[in-house]
A and B are shown apart, each in its own frame.
Chain A
Amino acid sequence: MNKRNLLTALGIVLSLLIAGGGWLLTSTLINRESDALLSATVITPLDVLAATPAGEQNDAPAAADGTKPLEERPRLSPAEINAILSYWNLANEERLHEPFGTQLSMEQAIEAAQTGLSSLAKQGALPAALLETPFEKPFAYLAQKFGAPAEAASRTPKPEMLDPSYSYWTVTLTNEDMGAFLVINAVTGQIWLADIDVYSANIEFGALDVESVLGHFVSYLGMESTEKIGVSQEGNYAFAYMNLAGGELNLSVDMNATDTDAGAVLSQIAIMLEPAGRTTTLIQ
């Protein structure tokens, strides 16, 4: 009987030892795992190489592209532009990356932005007065979207980089009179979105005709429109839109004004190129 009770007591003690010792062991393992994680040096390849299939070379290395003027940059067809814009609408997440393939460098992107604005101002799509003062420190970053529903469904944490034309530069240019946020296609250098806040109180709201701004931008894009322009104007808000390229794309212009003592002055211009609601097919 004593031996049995002794064994029973030993069994209970052993249980407690297993419980306590197990925790100590687990804690030690956790700490060891954590220490290994915290002391590791991780080398992360830049997303540049991820876009280049193994064994293939870029047709136009970045250095060569740096010398190609903007007007000689490759053009995208309306269908391609539609596909890119549609994908941008579906994907919610953004990743910054280095330029690769045929993409513009930062310098080129800023130059493309400035040149584009100048071109639009020359044509009368933008008040020339806005560009009289030089731009202060510009800022730009290159990014590509990801996280479209199809990618989310496949549970891919971070899919491979897409074609270079799916990237965009966001360029911010500011001077005394305006602040412009521009989205520029990373390959063509074209402005596809321009959101301009006007600080100057000198520009009358009526100085710009929204319909003509639309038309000038179509010219800037190098496209033709044969469809009727839709225009809406009410108080300090004007809106115009048109379909381009046989219905592939939709271009819209918003203009807002602020009432001042001198009357309604232009406060904002937004120009946006959008897909016309077709099914997205990624450019291969």
Chain B
Amino acid sequence: MRLFAKFFLCATFVVSIALLLSGYLLITSSHASEIRRETERALNQYQYDKFTVQADLLDYAMDTLKALDEPALLDEPDASATAEETATSEKTEGASSALLEDRAQTAAAAAQAQAAGIPPTLLDDMVAELSDLAAFYAADKTLLHSTLPEQIDLSLLDAVSDSSLVSKIQTMGEKDYLLVCGKVTQSGVSLYLVIATDISTVIAQKQQMEQSFLRVYLITLGVSMLVVLALSLLLTRPLNRMNRTAAAIARGRYSRRLPVRGKDEIGELSSSFNLMADAVEDRIYELSEAAQQKEDFVAGFAHELKTPLTSVIGYADMLYQKPLSPEQVKDAAWYILSEGLRLEALSQKLMDLIVLNRQDFVLEEIPADELLQSCVDGLMPLFAERKVVPHLTADPALIPMEYDLFKTLLLNLIDNAIKAGSSEVWVTGKRTGDRYVVAVSDNGRGIPAYELSRITEAFYMVDKSRSRKQHGAGLGLALAARIAELHGTTLRFHSAENKGTRAEIELSCMAWEAWEESEESEGGGSHE
């Protein structure tokens, strides 16, 4: 599952639970609080109504007592009295005649007797004075009078006692009523009083709260889901960018980096990612460099093998093919031996130069003229094969050099001169003051001016097809340039198409005579 979906799921869960829990607590506590408040109000109202009923019963008892004291009133019944009241008063008259000795007991007995059949008008008056719907039940739980929409559950009356009230919510008709039941005892009369308060609005209010909350819940949840979705996409965007960048780096685009915005965890991760990418890129570069160096070494060494091998093969062929004088045999053997030794030394030095990038080769003072002579002599078979006439003029001088590498440089220059299709090659060494210029010139095809700047690049060949035919790899001048750098100088090329090329290298030198003088002053020595 995608990360933004996980964020979305978790946030929805949390928001839903929080909203639902708060809604549940809010609605239930509000509803309970409202019911409690209505109950308190109803209980208070019941108490007030109870006093009203008690007052009415007391007043009725007092009137009854008064009627007992003034029997004449009984002869003139009130015109507005109902037949029941008349029957009641007649009953009272009949009872009073038997209980005249104790007026209070008589009144109480009369009241009790009347309670069994309290005049309906009195009940009507009592109910009319009450603020809510009400019902009266006799002590034996028979209904005396009711304005309630329905009969109540009589088990409620069983729970009523002298010291407690009972309240319960009951649906009657289409409305909900809070019933409060209690006992009313006054002047010997005992009744159950039930009042009913309409609390349908409270019930409806709870339903309205639920509906309102549902609306709020859906809107809040919807908005929060959208916000969470947007935020999660926003938060995961840097991670997606990181993913894409990592993929690009894996595909080889090592220079790709992440923008670092802010100092939060994402910013820190981006910085760390960039550091890692830097390290990877550097490592890749090092490995590429090493691989390239190895490749260059192999190519360079293979290239350098060719020239000496040509000499070795040439001299060996000469020994094999022709009868030679002992002197010629010795010379030939010497060239073979020296080239073999040179190759042995050269392999290590090329390794140092190319692979290890070593720069601290020891430079020795070498007689330049002898070196140039050695180069020309070593290539005589090649000259002969290619029908090239070599010319050598070299001023004696001592130049600081690494012998094997510098000889390799010269051999490469002479080899190129031969390969340029020359008929003659001039190898010169000219001393001017403390500078010595070694030059190799030819009268070959020359190099176009626009290519002169590139001829020292590795694997670059002016005429690829001809070079490959001559087993060239484009490495000779590259290696020669590196060797020149090692000696603290550079190669210079002058060329004209179809006229020839001149390659020269300038080094510091010491005159041979000056060197001899210095050697003599130090006690002498010989050079190689």
Contact = CB atoms under 8 A, between A and B. Distances in A.
A106 B165 contact: no
Nearest to B54: A106
A40 B168 contact: yes
Interface string B25-38: 00110011001000
A199 interface: no
**B interface, by DSSP: helix, strand, loop or mixed?**
helix
B388 to A, nearest CB: 69
B9 A107 contact: no
A137 B164 contact: no
Interface in A97-111: 97-98, 106-107, 110
Interface stretch (A45-53, A176-184, A256-264): A45-53
Interface in A62-121: 95-98, 106-107, 110
B55 to A, nearest CB: 5
A106 B210 CA distance: 46
Given A27-B210, A33-B28, A140-B55, A4 B1 contact: yes
B164 A43 contact: yes
B55 A15 contact: no
**A interface, by DSSP: helix, strand, loop or mixed?**
helix
Given A15-B12, A139-B55, A44 B2 contact: no
B315 interface: no
A15 B13 contact: yes
B31 A37 contact: yes
Interface in A1-54: 4, 7-8, 10-12, 14-16, 18-19, 22-23, 25-27, 29-30, 33-34, 37-46, 48-49
A142 interface: yes
A48 B35 CA distance: 24
B44 interface: yes
B163 A4 contact: no
A141 interface: yes
Interface in B1-18: 1-2, 5-6, 8-9, 12-13, 16-17
B43 A48 contact: no
B51 A110 contact: no
A139 B54 CA distance: 9
Contact of B169 (A38, A44, A98): A38
Contacts of A11: 1, 5-6, 8-9
Given A22-B17, A39-B169, A46-B163, A142 B2 contact: no
Contacts, number: 122
A30 B165 contact: no
A138 interface: yes
A30 B25 CA distance: 9
A96 B1 CA distance: 67
Q: Classify chain B: how many residues form its interface, as a range.
A: 35 or more
Contacts of A38: 35, 169, 176, 203
Contacts of B16: 18-19, 22
Given A26-B23, A42-B168, A34 B206 contact: yes
A4 B4 CA distance: 12
B52 A139 contact: yes
Contact of A106 (B6, B48, B176, B186): B186
B13 A43 contact: no
Interface in B368-389: none
Contacts of B501: none
Nearest to A42: B167
Given A37-B31, A96-B44, 6 more contacts: A27-B210, A44-B39, A44-B166, A110-B55, A137-B55, A141-B51
Interface of B: 1-2, 5-6, 8-9, 12-13, 16-17, 20, 23-24, 27-28, 31-32, 35, 39, 43-44, 47-48, 51-52, 54-56, 58-59, 156, 159, 163-169, 176, 186-187, 203, 206, 210, 214, 217, 221, 225
Interface of A: 4, 7-8, 10-12, 14-16, 18-19, 22-23, 25-27, 29-30, 33-34, 37-46, 48-49, 95-98, 106-107, 110, 137-142
30 contacts: A4-B1, A8-B1, A8-B5, A11-B6, A12-B5, A12-B8, A14-B9, A15-B8, A18-B12, A18-B16, A19-B12, A19-B221, A19-B225, A22-B20, A23-B20, A27-B214, A30-B27, A34-B31, A37-B32, A37-B169, A41-B156, A41-B168, A42-B166, A42-B167, A42-B168, A48-B163, A95-B47, A138-B55, A139-B51, A141-B48
